[in-house]
Chains A and B, each alone.
Chain A
Amino acid sequence: MNALAIKSTIDTVTSLRGREFGAYLTETRYELIRMVRNSSIAIPVLVLPLALYALFVFVIGGEWITKDPGAGIFLFAAFSLMAVTMPAMFGIGVTLAQEREMGLLRLKRAQPAPPAAWVVAKILAGLVLAVVAYAPIAILAVSTGKLALAPGQVISMSAALLIGTIPFTALGLMIGSLTTASAAPGWANVIYLPGCYLSGMFFPLPKSMYWQAPIWPQFHAEQLAMHMAGVTKMQLEPVTMAIATMIGYTVLFAGITIWRLSKKG
């Protein structure tokens, strides 16, 4: 084998790798473009958490925060978590259900698309949307001094919140794989909203309801945020428990999704 042949083999291999990578990139890019153009999903997901945060921090809870800086952290974590998880639930879950109904998933399986490309694209696009939804809340909180955390803590908490989207992405995919396009938003709400209240994310729970909080993924995502930001006062479970539960939920939801998609497509 001469040097030229070796070079051409290497070129072929690298260009193949590059093509596969290119497919992932193109898929992600168009997924984002679709989200931007499809403002009917994007706008409520982006605006709602920010508006609610502003309402609670400046109007309803203003005095409470001045008295107890912990309340500011609590409200920030709550609405930030809402901001980062809603794109996963509603953006990814609902579009997956739609695409299944459109037959698009069947087409993608038939085409030589890299099998994981569309999932990766959806997850990345969901993450970008999560960042876009989260950034205004973070900027608002920090610039108005309603968040009593050091810059390092804010960064840690931001990272935790983004990691926290993973089980919700899996949950969104599961809903999208199990329901029809018209039912998906309904189911997403039915599963998502009770968790926001019952996990103690929006308001502190009475003691009698503590037992059920760990059922909800929101609880563990918030706990992870509190641990990573080092807010000891609001750490209700060990960090290993929060991580383990989030991994467990992710595996469960993703497992059901894969099982369902492999059966029904």
Chain B
Amino acid sequence: MNNTNDHRLHALDAVRGFALLLGVAFHAALSFLGGPPGTWFTADNSSNAVLGDAAFVSHIFRMSLFFFIAGYFGRLLYQRLGARSFWANRSMRILIPLVAGWAILSPLISYLWVTGVTKAFGGTLPPMPAMPEDFFPLGHLWFLYQLLLIYVAVIAVRSVIARLDPAQKLRGLVDKAVHGSIRTMAGTFTLGLPLAAALMSLPFWIYWMGIPTPDMTLTPQVPASVGYGTAFVFGWLVHRSSNALTAIAERWFANLVIAFVATGWLLHTMHATPMAAPGLTKTLYALIFGVAVWGWVLGLTGAALRFLSNYSATRRYIADASYWIYLAHLPVVVALQIWVSHWPLSWAVKFPMILVVSFAVLFASYHYLVRPTFVGKLLNGRKYSRKPEPTDPAPSPAAPPPADSVSGGPVAQLRGITKKFGAVTALNSIDIEVRRGELLAVLGPNGAGKSTAISLWLGLIEPDAGSVTLLGGEPQDIARRRGLGVMMQDVEMPKELKVRELVRLAASYYDDPMSVEEALRRAGLESLADRNYGKLSGGQKRQAQFAVAICGRPKVLFLDEPTVGLDVKARAALWTSVRRLLADGCSVVLTTHYLEEAEALADRITVITKGRVIASGSVDDMRALVARRQISCESSLTADDVRGWPGVIEVSKDASKLSITVTDAEGVVRRLLAADTTLGRLEVRQAGLNEAFNELTREAA
């Protein structure tokens, strides 16, 4: 099952970028910890314990978070590309950067190590400590090597399982377990267990180091392989499970609370004993470390899914840049650290300075040397031209959705939408689309789901199932929303502001608004432009809201019950304005109780009742759908006389006027004339939309 919603990928991309950039800050902090010289490239003369704690906290989760997201995208890519292309792709993006990066960076890093350590020891290089036999200076690129090892292992296991479990029974169970472990939050407490076991077995475990970094050897190390392997596999399984991401998003806050509490305990204990002999504290520390890792991983991922799902050009750029920046950052950061290490300044000045300068250099190098060149194509799979691109919502690595908002195509769509509020199903798998230049009237009784549908298009709420499109993209995307205008129900504008000011404020949100005067004129408000909103009548307020809705020259205009409270003249003026917008190519979605309004304006009508579309078509279609006619006459016959006649559905009598709704008009008229020779003012007409509408909604009830 492939549940890759593009907007979720935006969030996960952001998380990956965050984890990598956090690594830059982590390394930048390492010279300010006040440890003995020789543990890092250099030791600064100003140190700070709080910075040390902050670095420790970031180090708890940053790489696990990276591997978790890598697992998710790993499976996504494997599903999308197949085995062969997957390996080709990974060779380009991971293996080549690892080999080339190591070849370029390791001489630089060795040079900086010697320089830094010499400076830290006051000018003489101390003797090197003994190195293990399998020593290999992998440096900070170890994570690429580790990632490749994990790819090999996971895909080998995957192919074995695929052979053993052809009917996906086992995997179905695993999917359920994954979802359940997130929903019940059991995962937060248990996913760290393998890691905890690996950490407990370490003879020398310095708490501060967290998972010991496997950067000095090519031999796989147990704690890193277990810890990051678990993260990767769980990310892989989360991609398998159709609703695990939703569960992660829902539990973001609780997971972060757990992360905070666990981290607090770790800090407290670490301050007491930085490294304990095997025993209860060490065991407990390892267990709680595992909880902290997963609290952070799931909490931060969930928070990103919750709050960063929409497309943002800035975040996209940063996420793209983060890979290059992490690969290239170490020499820059370390060189700065060595340079400033003897300056007589506080860490509070030096540390931010290192960050600012490093990021400036690294972002500039990305922008000019990587993004527009083959390096960018190698690292991110995409080469950008150097000109600033207009807001391009194409998500990566997902393919851009076809955006058809030109001539006749739909400008706004709801597809297979279900939306529940608690136990109430407001919309039940409905499909509605609005085409360019048409007016779609959405009719339905109160509580039918009309306003819910509009709220989905406006990006105010998200559907439980189905997809919402506005002008070829997601409605949460502000660039899309610049093409809409909206007049909502139950909205009061600030009463202290004048009508003109309200329109000017709204116009400031749009790229190419009409003049304030023009908007006021179209809404029939010229004479009230300088009156405070609070002093307007109910109808005038609606006119002011209409002016606010149209001032941005919208491509789609949403009007939710626009003419409630308007007098006849104002309503006619509003209709004229709407027709003019339609003539200019604007599409309009109108919900209304005034059926004459729909008849007067609509190209198409959709009737919703109880969250379902029960009829949809042109005004004529609607009338024909219910082939009933209305007979009225003045007659001495009573309603009871007529009621039993064949073809009669409903009769009412008001003074001497008889109103009959019939299916067989000719037959009933013949019989009426025969029964009452004094009958007068006979009139037969097609049932209006009013009746059709009542009929439709009654049948659905």
Tally A-B pairs: CB < 8 A: 82
* B694 interfacial contact with A, CB 8 Å: no
A164 to chain B, nearest CB (A): 20
A258 to B253: give the CA distance in the assembly, Å.
12
* Alpha-carbon distance between A23 and B460 when the two chains are bound, in angstroms: 20
Q: Is the CB of A107 within 8 A of B491?
A: yes
Cβ contact within 8 Å between A27 and B508: yes
Is B571 among interface residues, defined by CB-CB distance under 8 A?
A: no
B486 touches A110 (CB 8 A): yes
Contact with A along B472-510 (1 / 0, CB 8 A): 000000100110101010111110110001001110111
Which of A12-20, A72-80, A202-210 is near enough to bind chain B? Answer: A12-20
Name the interface residues of A110-127: CB closer than 8 Å to any CB of B.
110-115
Judge whether B307 and A262 touch: CB under 8 Å: yes
Name the one of B306, B494, B510 contacting A112, with C-beta atoms under 8 angstroms.
B510
Q: Tell me if A64 counts as interface (CB < 8 A to partner B).
A: no
In chain B, what residue has the closest Cβ to A37?
A: B496
| Contact flags A131-172 to B (C-beta < 8 A → 1, else 0) | 000000000000000000000000000000000000000000
Bound-state Cα–Cα, A27 to B253, Å: 32
- B511 contacts chain A at the CB level, 8 A cutoff: yes
Interface residues of A in 5-49 (CB under 8 A from B): 6, 9-10, 12-13, 16, 19, 22-23, 25-27, 30, 33-34, 37-38
Q: Which of A13, A30, A99, A110 is close to B505, meaning CB atoms less than 8 Å apart?
A: A30
Interface centre among A19, A27, A110, A114 (most CB of B within 10 A): A110
The answer to whether B552 touches A112, judged by C-beta atoms less than 8 angstroms apart, is: yes
Q: How many residues of B contact A (CB 8 A)?
A: 32
Identify which of B459, B482, B493, B494 gathers the most chain A CB atoms within 10 Å of its CB.
B494
Q: A9-B388, A23-B508, A112-B552 are in contact. Are A103 and B496 (CB under 8 A)?
A: no
Q: Is the CB of B460 within 8 A of A106?
A: yes
B402 partner residues in chain A, CB cutoff 8 A = none
- Contact indicator B488/A112 (Cβ below 8 Å): no
Is B588 an interface residue when CB atoms closer than 8 A count as contact? no
Contact indicator B492/A10 (Cβ below 8 Å): no
Please indicate the chain B residues that have their CB under 8 angstroms from the CB of A10 in the complex.
388
Name the B residues within 8 Å of A99 (CB-CB). 494
In-complex Cβ contact of B492 among A6, A25, A104 (8 A): A104
Q: State whether B387 touches A6 (Cβ < 8 A).
A: yes
Q: Smallest CB-CB separation from B478: which chain A residue?
A: A112
Q: In the docked arrangement, what's the CA distance between A114 and B312, Å? A: 12
A259 at the interface (CB under 8 A from B): yes
Q: Quick one: which of A251-265 are within 8 Å of B by CB?
A: 258-259, 262, 265
Residues B506-522 near A (CB distance < 8 A):
506, 508-511
A265 to B484, CA, bound (A): 20
CB B135 to nearest CB in A, in angstroms, measures: 42
Q: Find out whether the CB atom of A262 lies under 8 angstroms from the CB atom of B509.
A: no
Q: Which residues of B contact A23 (CB under 8 A)?
A: 508-509
The 8 A CB mask of A88-116 against B (1 = contact, 0 = none) is 00000000000100111011011111110
Alpha-carbon distance A265/B506, docked complex (angstroms)? 19
A190 at the interface (CB under 8 A from B): no
Decide: A103 and B478 in contact? CB cutoff 8 A: no
Chain A binding site: helix, strand, loop or mixed by DSSP? helix
Write the nearest CB–CB distance from B545 to chain A, whole angstroms: 9
Cβ of A1 within 8 Å of any chain B Cβ, yes or no, is yes
Residues of A within 8 A of B481 (CB): 110-112
Beta-carbon contacts of B613-642 to A below 8 Å, as 1s and 0s? Answer: 000000000000000000000000000000
- In the bound assembly, the distance between CA atoms of A61 and B552 in angstroms comes to 59
Also in contact, A262 and B460, with CB within 8 A (given A12-B390, A23-B508, A112-B509): no
Kindly list chain B residues whose C-beta atoms are within 8 Å of the C-beta of A12: 390
- Enumerate chain A residues within 8 angstroms of B478, measured Cβ to Cβ: 112, 114-115
In the assembled complex, the Cα of A34 lies from the Cα of B505 at a distance in Å of: 13
A9, closest chain B residue (CB): B387
B509 and A30 form a contact (CB under 8 A): no
| Complex: chain B residue closest to A23, CB-CB | B508
Bound form: Cα–Cα A2–B628 in Å: 66
Determine if A112 and B482 form an interchain contact, defined as CB atoms under 8 angstroms apart: yes
B211 interface hit (Cβ, 8 Å): no
**Most chain B CB within a 10 A radius of its CB, from A26, A111, A259, A262:** A111
Residue B582 at the chain A interface, CB threshold 8 Å: no
Chain B residue contacts of A25, Cβ below 8 A? 508
Measured CB to CB, the nearest residue on chain A to B532 is: A37
Q: List 14 A-B contacts (CB under 8 A).
A: A12-B390, A19-B508, A19-B511, A23-B508, A25-B508, A26-B505, A30-B505, A103-B492, A106-B460, A107-B493, A110-B486, A110-B488, A258-B307, A262-B306
Pairs of residues from A and B, 7 with the lowest C-beta to C-beta distance, nearest first: A102-B492, A103-B491, A110-B458, A112-B481, A37-B496, A26-B508, A112-B482
* New A-B contacts (13) at CB < 8 Å, excluding given A109-B458, A109-B460, A112-B481: A9-B388, A10-B388, A19-B508, A26-B504, A33-B497, A34-B497, A103-B490, A110-B458, A111-B506, A112-B478, A112-B552, A114-B478, A262-B306
Q: Which residues does A use to contact B, with CB under 8 Å?
A: 1, 6, 9-10, 12-13, 16, 19, 22-23, 25-27, 30, 33-34, 37-38, 99, 102-104, 106-107, 109-115, 258-259, 262, 265
